Structure 1
Amino acid sequence: MAKKRLFIGTLTTVSGIEAVKERIELLGILGKWVEKENIHFTYRFLGDIEEERIPQIKQMLKNKLKGITAPMVTYKGLDVFPNLKSPRVLWIGMKSEEIEEVKRKIDQALMPFGFSPEKIFKPHLTLLRIKKLRHATKFKSYLFQMKEHFFDKKVEQKVCLIESKLTSKGPIYKVLEEIILD
């Protein structure tokens, strides 16, 4: 039975990423940057899904998201996961009133497929997977400066069911379904 590795998210672009990239590289931080065309935020990671279930998931998402207001998103602040002592992922924060409602509807759409609603939803844009940190103090200082930095504000109308193929060069994303919110 063939399966596809899927997630529900929004591919997007945000201004100011190039400046962050230049600064991080000056700080001698090594890692893998997310390719420009792969920058996204994730509503829900689904994992490996049987191909014959995909049309049902698409339909359920379309039904649940009908008439939902597209979220106005403010992209603000740089931070890391899991913490400053051991940073592994550099990301841009997201603030939005409406995004929680979109997430709730997505969780409802997935319940018939055995997915329980997630307790914690922390929308963010992953920029860099950190491999090596050369100047930890300077990096922390830069993050502190960028904690409230405003990157962008825009309406994110698309919710996509995306296939993620993992390759040695990084993931390849393919949009299987695109739903446009009101």
Structure 2
Amino acid sequence: MPKKRLFIGTLTFVSGLEAVREVIDSLGITGKWVERENIHFTYRFLGDVDEEKIPSIASMLKGKLRGVRAPLVEYKGLGVFPSLRSPRVLWVGMNSEALYEVKRKVDMALLPFGFPLEERFTPHLTLLRIKKLRHQTKFKNYLFKMREHLFERKLEAKVCLIESKLTPQGPIYSVLEEILLD
């Protein structure tokens, strides 16, 4: 049975990211930047899904998201996962109560397909997978300075079922289904 590696999310872009990259590069931090066209946030990672289930999942998502309002998202602050002591991922934070309602509907749509409800949801935009950190103190100071920085506030009206093909050069994303919120 052929499978596709899937996630449900929104491809987006936020102004001001070029300036972040310039500062990070000037600090001698190296790693793999997420390509502009691949910047997204994830409602739910599904992993490998049987191809024959994809139309049913798309249909269920459309049904559960009908009439749901598009969340107004505030892209604010920079942070790292898993910790400041050992940063591996640089991200932009997201604030939006309405985002959690969309997430709840996505989870409800997936229940019939054997995906349990997720307890944790930390919406963010991954910018960089950090490989080497030279100036830890300067990096921490920059993160501290940027923790309340407002990048952009905008409506995110699309929820997409996205295929992720992994390649040595990085992932290639293909939108299989796009659902527009109200």
Q: Same fold (TM over 0.5)?
A: yes
> Residue in 2 aligned with 1:16?
16
> Residue in 2 aligned with 1:93?
93
Partners of 1:114 and 1:100 in 2: CA distance: 21
The structural deviation recorded for 1:77 is 0.2
Partners of 1:22 and 1:180 in 2: CA distance: 34
The structural deviation recorded for 1:112 is 0.3
Aligned to 1:88, what secondary structure does the other structure show? strand
Q: Which residue identity lines up with residue 155 of structure 2 in the other structure?
A: V
Partners of 2:179 and 2:17 in 1: CA distance: 26
Partners of 2:117 and 2:155 in 1: CA distance: 24
- Which TM-score applies when normalising by structure 2? 1.00
Q: Which residue identity lines up with residue 69 of structure 1 in the other structure?
A: R
User: 4+ residue runs of structure 1 moved beyond 4 angstroms?
Assistant: none
Partners of 1:19 and 1:117 in 2: CA distance: 37
> Residue in 2 aligned with 1:48?
48
1:111 aligns to 2:114 (yes or no): no
1:141 aligns to 2:141 (yes or no): yes
Partners of 2:23 and 2:131 in 1: CA distance: 16
> Residue in 2 aligned with 1:67?
67
Where do 5+ consecutive residues of structure 2 fail to align?
A: none
The structural deviation recorded for 1:97 is 1.4
Identity between Structure 1 and Structure 2 (%): 73
> Residue in 1 aligned with 2:127?
127
Aligned positions, number? 182
CA deviations 1:43-69 (Å, max 9, x no partner) are 000000000000000000000000000
Partners of 2:59 and 2:161 in 1: CA distance: 11
Partners of 1:70 and 1:176 in 2: CA distance: 20
Where do 5+ consecutive residues of structure 1 fail to align?
A: none
Aligned to 1:134, what secondary structure does the other structure show? coil
> Residue in 2 aligned with 1:171?
171
Partners of 2:45 and 2:113 in 1: CA distance: 13
